[in-house]
A and B are shown apart, each in its own frame.
Chain A
Amino acid sequence: MEIILTQENLNHALAAVSRVASSKTQLPILGNILLRTDGKRLLIAATNLEIAITQYIGCKIIKPGAITIPAKLISEFISNLPKEQVELKVINDNLHIKSGKYTSIINGFIADDFPELPTINEDSSIQYSIKVEDFKEAVSQTIITTSSDTTRPVLTGVYWHSHQGKLYLAATDGYRLSERCLIDTKSDVSAIIPTQTLQEVLRNINENSNEIDILFDETQVRFRINEIEIISRLIDGNFPDYRQLIPNSSETKIIINKSDFIRITKISGLFARESGGSVTITANKDNKNISIHSIASQSGENTSEADAEVDNDGQITLNSRYLSEALSVVDGEKVEFSFSGKIAPCILKSTDPKSNYYHIIMPLKS
């Protein structure tokens, strides 16, 4: 293999793929990056056997070929080079890199041992094109409620599914739940995408991206942003039927400025560190306000109040961290927070009728 390309292109592609390469697996070659000429382009790829990231970049090919090289070393070397042309040349399984005054030789490994990258059949799969901003918002709104508990794998991803003609994203860790409606769909989809995959996709979105193409088949999903492709396995199993959890009605409904709610939640959270984040929210109809109370037995206690529209008195205890995180992703200026008694789940959503997101938090037993 012998090629010439710009440092910028190469650096950009290496940065995109190299994060996935890991030296912590049984197969040492998974710590490497694959470089392979394909037609008039160079394919750069890395995989950890859960997800694979590939990117094509344009280059001048003098001699086609392929090699794999340790991800960390090459990406760090290339990122430190000035913005000039870079020559890559494979001699005896070693990669000779030359750029201006810098030359280095990196010991590589033959490309034949690199795992085959999965492909997806575009004709038999379900396709979506989604605006990058929508995708970004929807994923960040749901990814926070995924679980990291590997004993329940189905909860460690975001559940993309069709329901009554719309595509929904949902995730729960058993303590809270979030659901976001994304777009209209005619196809039937039901796929749990691993959290890491979605994080990786988010990371690869930049200001040049407009649309993101998503392809589902039964066992895998592929995202494409510009020239970057991310293929991932789906989590096997059935996502719990979470819709039965959503309360139909509520006894107490509070409408409050989001910024006020965020402030008092954060303040009371400071005093809730000892008690596992536990804060108690009291809604008072006559005073037209809500108050948050938290106690730290060692350091003191706090009560913060904020004006709000309240339709009924009520009280609930929950984890302030969950509440802060939920507030940070709800859209709109004003939010509606409703609950029924001390043990039923509470709902947080925007008052904006166009909003298509809601967040459920289970209360703590106080």
Chain B
Amino acid sequence: MHNALWQSVLGEIELMVSHATFTTWFKNTELVDQNDDLLTIAVPNIFAKKQFEVKFNDQIKGVLSKNGVNPKQINYIVNISGKHTRVNRETTVGLSPKITADELIADNQTIKQTTQITGGLNPRYTFDNFIVGSSNDLAYTASQAVADNPGVKYNPLYLYGGVGLGKTHLMQAVGNEIIKKNPSARILYISSETFVNEFLDYIRFKKKGFSDKYRNVDVLIVDDMQFIAGKEKTQEEFFHTFNHLHQNNKQIIISSDKPPKSIPTLTERLRSRFEMGMTIDIQMPDFETRCAILNIKASQSGITLKQETTEYLANNIKTNIRELEGALNQLLAYAEMRGIEPDISTAEGLIGNIRNSRPQHISSKKIIDQTAKHFQINISEICGEKRDKHIVTPRQIAMYLLRSELHLSFPKIAGELGRKDHTTAIHSVEKIEKAIKLDFMIREQVAAIKEKLYA
């Protein structure tokens, strides 16, 4: 009963204050006692106690009275484990560890020679259930070659392509295949984010075993490499890991959403290393592949789709296999719940919902906005007539970005920035291209703007 009241109070307060305020102060609070006149609320620490007493008291009283409770006074106490509450506190209540000499010693084996890792692989992803089409057959063949001869042929294998096109599936399939052939192989599958986080822990808390973990493997698979961009120390650490593995002929497989050269702020030495093995692009699946995927997925659920339904779905969702699967699952679930046929009219009704959630793309306006913002000048200035140096350079950078990121034609670029003559655009783009190679400042600035664009 206590909890129900407090829950409804929290629910209402969550709407009244900002999200950050709510999570900072109201999480882990609890109503522990309720009399006619006195309400006792447990809060996690002294800071919260004071904050509640001074800042939130009136607000809470207001909400309580809406719920029909009018206590004369509310007491706030700091929650000391086990003292006031019963719920969900096992972790701290049970925590009075008796440290014995034996236990300490057991913990103390700091020297671990090898770590047996088959970390992070999902056995569901295999070559068998990967659907090959013209868009991904090269990647598929290369992956199989790697699985047959890890560390020999294509090292590193660098797969890139948009979201939901099967990069993870392929990489995991390589890992699973190698394990199948050689169960003692040490394979580590991680996302680059994990790498970054563990590296930070390593630096911050001096946690041991960081380089052991990454350097004692036979196959290192790193997913979503692009997130390492801009993190220089991490890149350096990854660089050393990479070299160590590569020199010992250990296989490295990397995936990313862009080729190495288009990842902004990737250091030169990593880029050249990523490019030295095999760099393969996984493209959008073509229509036939999409149909094949749909048919196979549907038959896995024991349903045969009509030709026209498959074609309708394949026609409407072109860019992303994950989305395609999602649409299919939604259709099948919907049909099953309603007890109707998953036919084309049902699909038409549903597909509208799915298509709404597209990620927005970079527009020329966004590029100009970001550039102007970065240099702290007005858009009217960047598009205007003035030729002061502090405006000209940003303008040229904007033109360069329009060209490099959007591949706009020169007349179009000139038009976007209010110029009549397209030769200005040609000149600007060439100038920045050259400057990027020579001028550190320009290079940094272009990279910074790019980063903001893709953030």
B-binding residues in A (CB < 8 A): 25-28, 47, 49-50, 52, 115-119, 148-149, 152-154, 172, 174-175, 218-220, 231, 233, 236-238, 240-242, 244-245, 275-278, 319, 343-345, 362-365
Which residues of A sit under 8 angstroms from B46, Cβ to Cβ?
A: 118, 219-220, 231, 233
The answer on a CB contact under 8 Å between A237 and B50 is: no
The answer on a CB contact under 8 Å between A233 and B110 is: no
B208 touches which of A174, A218, A231, A276 (Cβ 8 Å): A276
B107 proximal to A (CB < 8 A): yes
Apart from A236-B81, A343-B105, what are 8 other A-B pairs with CB-CB below 8 Å?
A27-B24, A49-B48, A218-B80, A219-B78, A219-B80, A220-B46, A237-B92, A245-B104
B315 proximal to A (CB < 8 A): no
Which residues of A sit under 8 angstroms from B49, Cβ to Cβ?
A: 118, 219
Minimum CB–CB distance from B17 to chain A (whole Å) comes to 11
- Number of B residues contacting the other chain (C-beta, 8 Å)? 36
Minimum CB–CB distance from B400 to chain A (whole Å) comes to 33
| C-alpha spacing A116/B110, complex, angstroms | 45
Which residues of A sit under 8 angstroms from B20, Cβ to Cβ?
A: 26-28
Which residues of A sit under 8 angstroms from B24, Cβ to Cβ?
A: 25-27, 49
Select the stretch in B95-103, B120-128, B175-183 that faces chain A: B95-103
Which DSSP category, helix, strand, loop or mixed, fits chain A's interface?
loop
Which residues of A sit under 8 angstroms from B47, Cβ to Cβ?
A: 47, 49-50, 52, 115-116, 118, 233
Can you list the 4 inter-chain pairs with the closest CB atoms, starting with the nearest? A238-B96, A276-B110, A219-B78, A116-B50
| C-alpha spacing A365/B106, complex, angstroms | 8
Select the stretch in B51-59, B64-72, B325-333, B431-439 that faces chain A: B51-59
B53 touches which of A116, A153, A319 (Cβ 8 Å): A116
Which residues of B sit under 8 angstroms from A345, Cβ to Cβ?
A: 101, 104
The answer on a CB contact under 8 Å between B98 and A240 is: yes
B45 proximal to A (CB < 8 A): yes
Minimum CB–CB distance from A258 to chain B (whole Å) comes to 25
| Total A-B pairs, Cβ < 8 A | 107
B206 proximal to A (CB < 8 A): yes
The answer on a CB contact under 8 Å between B99 and A174 is: yes
The answer on a CB contact under 8 Å between A219 and B50 is: no
B205 proximal to A (CB < 8 A): yes
Which residues of B sit under 8 angstroms from A154, Cβ to Cβ?
A: 95, 97
| C-alpha spacing A242/B208, complex, angstroms | 25
**Known A-B contacts A47-B47, A49-B45, A276-B208; A27 and B96 likewise in contact (beta carbons under 8 Å):** no
The answer on a CB contact under 8 Å between B50 and A117 is: yes
| C-alpha spacing A245/B53, complex, angstroms | 43
Chain B residue with the shortest CB-CB distance to A154 = B95
Minimum CB–CB distance from B137 to chain A (whole Å) comes to 46
B99 touches which of A118, A149, A233, A240 (Cβ 8 Å): A240
Chain A residue with the shortest CB-CB distance to B53 = A116
The answer on a CB contact under 8 Å between A319 and B98 is: no
Chain A residue with the shortest CB-CB distance to B56 = A116
Minimum CB–CB distance from B109 to chain A (whole Å) comes to 6
Which residues of A sit under 8 angstroms from B99, Cβ to Cβ?
A: 172, 174, 240, 242, 245
Chain A residue with the shortest CB-CB distance to B49 = A118
B272 proximal to A (CB < 8 A): no
Minimum CB–CB distance from A339 to chain B (whole Å) comes to 12
| C-alpha spacing A304/B108, complex, angstroms | 25
Minimum CB–CB distance from A50 to chain B (whole Å) comes to 8
A175 touches which of B48, B50, B107 (Cβ 8 Å): B107
B197 proximal to A (CB < 8 A): no
| Residue of B21, B51, B109, B110 with most chain A CB atoms under a 10 A cut-off | B110
**Known A-B contacts A115-B47, A148-B206, A174-B99; A218 and B78 likewise in contact (beta carbons under 8 Å):** yes
Q: List 17 A-B contacts (CB under 8 A).
A: A26-B23, A26-B24, A49-B48, A50-B45, A148-B206, A154-B97, A174-B99, A219-B45, A238-B96, A240-B98, A244-B100, A276-B111, A277-B110, A345-B104, A362-B108, A365-B105, A365-B108
Which residues of A sit under 8 angstroms from B101, Cβ to Cβ?
A: 245, 343-345, 362
| C-alpha spacing A27/B110, complex, angstroms | 39
The answer on a CB contact under 8 Å between A362 and B53 is: no
Minimum CB–CB distance from A54 to chain B (whole Å) comes to 13
| C-alpha spacing A126/B211, complex, angstroms | 47
Which residues of B sit under 8 angstroms from A245, Cβ to Cβ?
A: 99-101, 104
Chain A residue with the shortest CB-CB distance to B110 = A276
| C-alpha spacing A108/B50, complex, angstroms | 23
B108 touches which of A116, A219, A364 (Cβ 8 Å): A364
Which residues of A sit under 8 angstroms from B111, Cβ to Cβ?
A: 275-276, 278, 364
| C-alpha spacing A362/B101, complex, angstroms | 8
Chain A residue with the shortest CB-CB distance to B78 = A219
The answer on a CB contact under 8 Å between B98 and A175 is: no
The answer on a CB contact under 8 Å between B81 and A237 is: yes
Minimum CB–CB distance from B179 to chain A (whole Å) comes to 29
The answer on a CB contact under 8 Å between A236 and B108 is: no
CB under 8 Å from chain A, chain B span 29-56: 45-51, 53-55
Minimum CB–CB distance from A256 to chain B (whole Å) comes to 24
The answer on a CB contact under 8 Å between A241 and B98 is: yes
| C-alpha spacing A28/B49, complex, angstroms | 20
The answer on a CB contact under 8 Å between B21 and A27 is: yes
The answer on a CB contact under 8 Å between A365 and B109 is: yes
